[in-house]
């Protein structure tokens, strides 16, 4: 199914450039609102956002769109994406909106939509909304225009919900945690939740100014977190991204622990506690082959999907799994949340750290990953993956890795990038294969 505006995680782009303009945000509000006007009850949409400057513009435009087609709007301010999903469901809203470009810099923004059950929209719903963008919206009579209001306790509601996922018999007393909130949506809730559970918290990336989100901090740039953990003698570091739906961890030595290792830890912990369903976990084609081999040794399965946490969740729901995610740190624990939740995933890791009584460096490295290399090649228009030169380079790379590794080539769903990933037992060979394909893409 070809979609014009929706990518793997909503609609995203450069602010004040199509489709991230105020006019388009208003139209998306009108189209999404019209699609979810079902039944004769008073309809409601929950709107949250991260801390980027353009959030004010996009929020105002979307409020205009929703109210013009008869939807009431509840604004919850800067909160994590999973908080919007949770609030949409708990407030019996018809639709939830998170205005965020996740891990991207402040110059970008995006729109993520959630249905009334708190799950991201299906491909069919997104296609229907795109179709409505092509037609003139049906504006309601003056007396039916929606109202908007802001609730002030949204962050407190989310903190309470997140804390409920932490085992009630455990506390974080004596644990020094550095948390990096990426100057993003979790800058208030994450340090508060950890402190309320008893941790000694050092918070960084908690001074958003509209333009510093994900800037030299957060899950996509862990250098500040690594430095702070080592210099402060902390037991562990936690890095969230701009909308706090992904998690990367740093152990006490400053080493980075990715989503694959965290999923392995949670899967084994939940299996031991009798909580794991589906006999394994769900991950994408980008997860390391070492994870797959580790799970096999634990008599657990790894079900792979295409890239995107929405596809991970679809497989989890269809096949009965309750743990899934991505190497990048999107971790979905469906017993507790309908989407990736960095704070909730972190609490599961911290619980295991408390129970084990071991150093993070000893506990968190569950398996030895195979050498893996990912490079991105930016392109401006066209379809480079369809050219003969790129096809030939990919075929040659697959042949060289046959039996010893994997090759994954894909177009990013959120940025104009071709992502080239290879892994295998021979690190030098992996690098040669990736470089040859990248060169072919650049030439195309």
- pTM, two decimals, is 0.90
Residue 124 near residue 113, CB atoms below 8 Å:
no
Backbone angles phi, psi at 190, to 5 degrees: -65, -50
| Catalytic-role residue among 54, 68, 100, 102 | 102
| Domains of the chain with CATH codes | 11-152 (3.40.120.10), 157-242 (3.40.120.10), 259-363 (3.40.120.10), 372-443 (3.30.310.50)
> What are the tokens at 386?
């369809």
Tell me the per-residue pLDDT of 218-267, one tens digit each, with 9 for 90 and over. 999 999 999 999 999 999 999 999 999 999 999 999 999 999 999 999 99
The pLDDT value recorded for residue 2 is 61
Positions in the chain whose pLDDT score sits under 70:
1-2, 414
> What are the tokens at 87?
């609030």
The whole-angstrom separation of Cα 79 and Cα 356 is 32
Secondary structure in 3-state letters for the chain: CCCCCCECCEEEEECCCCCCCHHHHHHHHHHHHHHCCCCCCCCEEEEEECCCCCHHHHHHHHHHHHHHCCCEEEEEEECCHHHHHHHHHHCCCCEEEEECCCCCCCCEEEEEEECCCCCECCHHHHHHHHHHHCCCCCCCCHHHCCCEEECCCHHHHHHHHHHCCCCCCCCCCCCEEEEECCCCCCCCHHHHHHHHCCCEEEEECCCCCCCCCCCCCCCCCCHHHHHHHHHHCCCEEEEECCCCCCEEEEECCCCEECHHHHHHHHHHHHHHCCCCCCCEEEEECCCCHHHHHHHHHCCCEEEEECCCHHHHHHHHHHHCCCEEECCCCCEEECCCCCCCCHHHHHHHHHHHHHHHCCCHHHHCCCCCCCCEEEEEEECCCCCHHHCHHHHHHHHHHHHHHCCCEEEEEEECCCCCEEEEEEEECCHHHHHHHHHHHHHHHHHC
158: left (phi over 0), alpha (psi -120 to 50) or beta: alpha
The pLDDT value recorded for residue 225 is 98
> What are the tokens at 410?
């894909």
The radius of gyration computed from the CA coordinates of the chain, to the nearest angstrom, equals 22
Strand 108-114 versus strand 200-204 pairing type: unpaired
Q: List the Cα angle 229/328/119 in 5-degree steps.
A: 120
Which residues face 397 on adjacent strands? none
- Residue found by looking up tokens 């037609």 in the block: 135
Annotated catalytic, 269? no
Q: Would you mind telling me the total number of residues written for the chain in this entry?
A: 444
């Amino acid at each position: 199914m070809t979609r014009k505006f929706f990518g793997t995680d909503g609609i995203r782009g450069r602010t004040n450039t199509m489709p991230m303009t105020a006019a388009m945000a208003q139209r998306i509000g009108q189209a999404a609102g019209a699609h979810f006007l079902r039944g004769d009850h008073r309809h409601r949409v929950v709107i949250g956002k991260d801390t980027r400057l353009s959030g004010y513009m996009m929020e105002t435009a979307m409020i205009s769109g929703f109210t013009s087609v008869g939807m009431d709007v509840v604004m919850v301010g800067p909160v994590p994406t999973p908080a919007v999903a949770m609030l949409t469901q708990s407030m019996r809203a018809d639709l939830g909106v998170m205005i965020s470009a996740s891990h991207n810099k402040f110059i970008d923004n995006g729109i993520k939509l959630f249905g009334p059950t708190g799950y991201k929209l299906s491909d069919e719903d997104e296609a229907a909304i795109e179709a409505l963008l092509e037609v003139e919206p049906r504006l309601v009579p003056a007396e039916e225009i929606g109202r908007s209001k802001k609730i002030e306790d949204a962050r407190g509601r989310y903190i309470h919900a997140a804390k409920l996922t932490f085992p009630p018999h455990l506390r974080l007393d004596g644990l020094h945690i550095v948390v990096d909130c990426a100057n993003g949506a979790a800058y208030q809730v994450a340090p508060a939740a950890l402190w309320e559970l008893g941790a000694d918290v050092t918070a960084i990336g908690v001074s958003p100014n509209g333009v510093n989100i994900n800037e030299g901090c957060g899950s996509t740039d862990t250098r500040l977190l690594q430095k702070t953990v080592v210099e402060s003698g902390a037991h562990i570091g936690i890095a969230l991204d701009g909308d706090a739906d992904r998690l990367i961890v740093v152990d006490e030595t400053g080493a980075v622990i990715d989503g694959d290792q965290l999923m392995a830890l949670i899967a084994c912990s939940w299996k031991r506690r009798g909580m794991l369903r589906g006999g394994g976990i769900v991950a994408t084609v980008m997860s390391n082959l070492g994870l797959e081999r580790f799970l096999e040794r634990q008599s657990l399965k790894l079900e792979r999907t295409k890239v995107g946490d929405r596809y991970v969740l679809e497989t989890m729901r269809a096949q009965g799994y309750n743990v899934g995610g991505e190497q990048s740190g999107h971790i979905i624990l469906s017993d507790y949340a309908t989407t990736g939740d960095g704070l909730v995933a972190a609490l599961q890791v911290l619980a295991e750290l408390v129970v084990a009584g071991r150093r993070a460096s000893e506990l968190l490295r569950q398996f030895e990953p195979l050498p893996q290399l990912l490079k991105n090649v930016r392109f401006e228009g066209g379809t480079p993956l369809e050219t003969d030169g790129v096809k030939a380079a990919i075929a040659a790379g697959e042949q060289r890795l046959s039996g010893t590794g994997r090759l994954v080539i894909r177009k990013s769903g959120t940025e104009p990038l071709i992502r080239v990933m290879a892994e295998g037992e021979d690190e030098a060979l992996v690098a040669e294969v990736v470089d040859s394909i990248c060169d072919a893409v650049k030439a195309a």
